[in-house]
Amino acid sequence: MEIRHALHRGRTARAGSKGAALAVLATAQLVIGLDYSIVNVALPDIGRSLGFTDGTVQWVISAKTMTFGGFLLLGGREPPDLLGRRRMSMAALSLFGLASLAGGLAQHAGLLIAARAAQGIGGAVLFPSTLSLVNTTYEEGRERNRAIAVWGSAGAGGLSLGVLAGGVLTGLREGLASLLERSGFEVVGQAGDAAGLLALAREHHPELLIVDIRMPPTYSTEGLEAARVIRGELPEAGILLLSAHVVVEHATELLAGGRGVGYVLKRRVTDVDEFVDTLERISRGGSVVDPALVQELVAARRRDDPLAVLTAREREVLGLMAEGRSNAGIARRLWVTEGTVEKHVRSIMAKLALPETDDDHRRVLTVIAYLETR
């Protein structure tokens, strides 16, 4: 029995050690992808702020590309016994981190180019050494396949997060435009203020607009006001409002104005797949409400709340309805059958004395109009 317990503790310890190792290796791959895309997005603005010429900006890009490609074969070779794979990886990660710090503090072109070149060397050694560690640390088969999947996904995630982080550095607008183009959308224009947004909308008649509620010059509700005007002039255009935090009045006012509208918090943009799905749903005429807004509305209800007649499951279904999800979408989220969801919807409509309808958008408007009276 004692031997069996000791073996169990040994297996648990090894599993924990391998999990920690995978976290470190995946983080290294994440950093490589993050750096690659964040600099490419932010570099034009960085170059303008430091007075770089177009040629200098190109050298900043090429310095890392050339050293990364040139040293990649060397980094992929078997490391000397004195160093070993782990030491090689840690040395490369340290070099990459120090070079990144130097690049971030650089105030002239020479230092930035040198820092980027050093990053290329560090990345060229780090990339193959971490992959080698994945292959040697984990047993062939399911364990190794899972580790490689996590390691590769971290790199892909770094590329996506880098686009968004670069957008934070240079403005969310540029980062979103780059993300949308990478996701297959055609970006017909960008505007830095409400007047520019209105001009672009009138010129291009886009199918979908992404509007920040707060825009220059006062950063109050200029974006919301522009969205109202666009909704009146281009009723078929989808509009997605972005906000840093939940403002109930802003959301419900536009959501009550027609089909193809949405309101989400800016932090949702980091989940690329979910954000792209949101845009596609709005483009198809659906309405999307951020879950945080639904929670805010429900939390603010009066003491004599009519929702008190609903069961916990019915409230959950109602919340998902308010997010713009169809019966099939709610069923997938709650792991129940679509028929069960239909029964809950009928019960909710009956208890709240609301008209039942098969139109997803009217369902959302009904829920929002009802919650607005809280």
What is the H or E stretch that residue 345 is in? helix 338-352
Report the alpha-carbon distance of residue 97 to residue 94 in Å, rounded: 5
- Residue 81: pLDDT above 50? no
Domain boundaries, the chain: 2-170, 189-289, 301-372
Mean pLDDT over 274-287 rounds to 87
Q: Dig out the tokens for 274 from the structure.
A: 């979910």
How far, in Å, are 93, 277, 298, 308, 362 from residue 183 at the CA level? 30, 11, 34, 43, 29
CATH classification code of 301-372: 1.10.10.10
Query: In the prediction, which pLDDT does 209 show?
Result: 93
- Residue 170: pLDDT above 60? no
How far, in Å, are 16, 259, 342 from residue 154 at the CA level? 19, 37, 39
Partners of 263 in beta bridges: 241, 289
Q: Which CATH fold would you assign to the domain 189-289? A: Rossmann fold (3.40.50)
Q: Which CATH fold would you assign to the domain 2-170? A: Growth Hormone; Chain: A; (1.20.1250)
Mean pLDDT over 136-149 rounds to 83
Report the alpha-carbon distance of residue 82 to residue 253 in Å, rounded: 67
Query: In the prediction, which pLDDT does 83 show?
Result: 56
């990053």: which residue's tokens?
A: 119
pTM over 0.85, yes/no = no
